[in-house]
Amino acid sequence: MRKNGSVYVSIVLAVLVGYFSYQWWFNPRRAIKRQLGELAATLSLPPEEVSEIDRLARLARLRHYFSPDVQITTGRSGASINSRDALIGAVAAWKAPAGGWNVTFVDVQIRMDSETTASAYMTAEITGQDPRTGAPSLDAREVTVRLAKQDDAWVVTTAEPTETLQRP
Amino acid sequence: MKTILFGSNPRLTAIRAGVLVVTAIVVFGYVLLPVRLTGISMEPTYTDGELNFANRLAFSWREPARGDVVAIRMAGPSVLYIKRVIGLPGEQIEIEMGVVKVNGEALLEPTVVRKAAWNLPALTLGPDEYFVIGDNRAMSMHNHDFGRATRDRIIGKLLF
């Protein structure tokens, strides 16, 4: 009886370990969430980023998250960025505010469109400091991102904002 | 020491603590969503940094009404817009020199203290749309997020 009990416990434990290992390393949804989390961290500007080397290293890391022909629509005007190089150029041109900013993606909902393509719908939250008052500031936008698996890594192929409150 | 921490009946204390935890999870997870207001778009009614709760059951038995301060979700409930409902489904909304007009009639807004000369051409709301806006109309119209919100995005009404 005790021997059977130990076998059952071992089987349940093995199933649980297998399940959580799969979720952590192999589940594509989990991999995409992890990738988006890393992208948000790369887009964040730490207040202590003072050297040019730090800045260039951060820009170089951005290449890993986007496809070469990425299409990004920005804002209400519908202006777009049509390549990874143009995107990195635009990010490089951003003037860092005092105190930096922090980017996070929250309420991420992932839909697998095929084995190698997926869509993520989420809120991009940017927190920082108001340059005039020093008070905490928050900006948030809904974003729909499409991703593709290229060279065994998920990269962003398109990104476009969704207007929560629509006006003419 | 043990008596002080767990009372004379530890089993009963554990049950009480469990009930308290479950109640807090249900109330603050599904009924009263804690919100911290960020920004100045609802001043002077609500100020930056204020804490409040969004009552998620407020619109279970009735639909949002004009004047309600509502919580509007983005992709999920982690980040919310807090705005006042000024237009109901099917109505025509227009802003002329800062004055909001509903179906052509000026709307009385006692919560709005100062009005900049905002202008918005007339638009008609769809059957599922509400027009929401902040109380701070002294700020620039371009820095103020407002507009149409579909019913499914309105997740609750501010408690206070």
- CB contact A77 to B (< 8 Å): no
Q: Is residue A168 part of a domain?
A: no
pLDDT of residue A147: 97
Q: Is residue A116 part of a domain?
A: yes
Supply the mean pLDDT for chain A: 87
pLDDT of residue A3: 65
Q: How many structural domains comprise chain A?
A: 1
Q: Are A113 and A145 in contact (CB under 8 A)?
A: no
pLDDT of residue B100: 96
Q: Is residue A42 part of a domain?
A: yes
Nearest to A88 by CA among A50, A54, A62: A62
pTM for the model: 0.85
A12-46: pLDDT as tens digits: 999 999 988 887 777 889 999 999 999 999 988 87
Q: How confident is the model at residue A7 (pLDDT cuts 50, 70, 90)?
A: confident
Is pLDDT at A52 greater than 70 in this prediction?
yes
Is pLDDT at A2 greater than 60 in this prediction?
no
- As given in the structure block, the two tokens for residue A50 are 């003072």
At B126, which amino acid appears?
Answer: G
DSSP A153: E
Q: pLDDT: is A55 or A89 the higher one?
A: A89
Q: Is residue A167 part of a domain?
A: no
Q: Which residues contact B74 (CB under 8 A, 6 or more apart)?
A: A107, A123, A140, A141, A142, A164, B80, B81
Q: Are A160 and B143 in contact (CB under 8 A)?
A: no
B127-159: pLDDT as tens digits: 999 999 999 999 999 889 999 999 999 999 999
- CB contact B75 to A (< 8 Å): yes
ipTM of model over 0.95 = no
Count of beta carbons in the 10 Å neighbourhood of residue B117: 11
Element spanning B23, H or E: helix B10-26
Q: Are B64 and B154 in contact (CB under 8 A)?
A: yes
Query: Which residue reads 């009963």 in tokens?
Result: B12
> Distance from CA of residue B105 to its chain's centroid?
25
How far apart (Å, rounded) are the C-alpha atoms in residues A97 and A115?
40
Q: What domain range includes position A49?
A: 2-162
How far apart (Å, rounded) are the C-alpha atoms in residues B81 and A163?
12
Nearest to B48 by CA among A164, A134, A99, A141: A134
The whole-angstrom distance between A158's CA and the closest CA on chain B is 18
- Based on the number of CB atoms within 10 Å of its own CB, is A128 exposed (0-12), middle (13-18) or buried (19 or more)? buried
Q: Is residue A107 part of a domain?
A: yes
Query: Which residue reads 């009372």 in tokens?
Result: B7
pLDDT of residue B2: 58
- CB contact B149 to A (< 8 Å): yes
Q: How confident is the model at residue A91 (pLDDT cuts 50, 70, 90)?
A: confident
pLDDT of residue A49: 60
- Cα torsion B137, B139, B141, B142 to 10°: value is -160
pLDDT of residue B7: 76
At A8, which amino acid appears?
Answer: Y
- 8 Å CB contact of A107 and B153: no
Chain B residue numbers touching A138 (CB-CB < 8 A)? 38-39, 79
B18-74: pLDDT as tens digits: 999 999 999 988 899 999 998 899 999 999 889 999 999 999 999 999 999 999 999
How far apart (Å, rounded) are the C-alpha atoms in residues A115 and B17?
46
CATH of the domain at A108: 3.10.450.50
pLDDT of residue B4: 67
Radius of gyration of chain B (CA): 20
Chain B residue numbers touching A136 (CB-CB < 8 A)? 38, 49
Average pLDDT over residues A147-151: 93
Chain A residue numbers touching B38 (CB-CB < 8 A)? 136-138
- 8 Å CB contact of B148 and A165: yes
Q: Is residue A51 part of a domain?
A: yes
Chain B CA closest to residue A143: B75
- As given in the structure block, the two tokens for residue B90 are 């099917």
How far apart (Å, rounded) are the C-alpha atoms in residues A108 and A121?
6
Chain A residue numbers touching B49 (CB-CB < 8 A)? 135-136
- 8 Å CB contact of B146 and A125: no
